[in-house]
Structure 1
Amino acid sequence: MTEVPAPRARITITYCTQCMWLLRAGWMAQELLSTFGQDLGEVALVPGTGGIFTVACDGELIWDRKRDGGFPEAAKLKQLVRDRIDPGRDLGHSDRK
């Protein structure tokens, strides 16, 4: 019997095109892909409007610019994703103050 691999996490970053936040969204996607590599199944950039900037992991909102007060630092975003997909993982310098 062949073992089916566990589904990997899907991250969506929704950014405001009116605010020109594509580069910020792309940079955050790159940071997540560099850190989590094969643990992520996909990082999707979703264009939006109205000042939106949100990050979701498997459909669960983990960061909202309006709710959380601005943009996440890269280390904070990595911690939020890690806490969803692999809570025991050490992020090295991203976990240190």
Structure 2
Amino acid sequence: MMLIEVGQALWGHALSPPSAPALAAPGELNTEGILTFFASKIAPILLAILGVIFIGRASKGEVSRVLTSSAIAIIGLGFIAGAATLLIVGDSLIKMVFK
């Protein structure tokens, strides 16, 4: 019975609308809003452009170049994810040390 309640709580949380990003105080940069905008608007467009380029190359028979470019793109995304992780970990360490 408890498992059902946990599942319902998680399912309800997954369906709840995302909270609006907090506004930055005057004179401060709203980095969360910028990251949210980039992740939701710019990144999908760039990935679609890369996909079109890769499909175009593959249709010309340049499969080895497509695989190389795909590997480079995946490694680049890994670096971006690693940088974001370091940013989050660094922020939590700074808050822990200086609080």
Structure-2-length-normalised TM-score: 0.28
Q: Which has the higher helix share?
A: 2
TM-score under structure 1 normalisation? Answer: 0.28
Higher Rg: 2
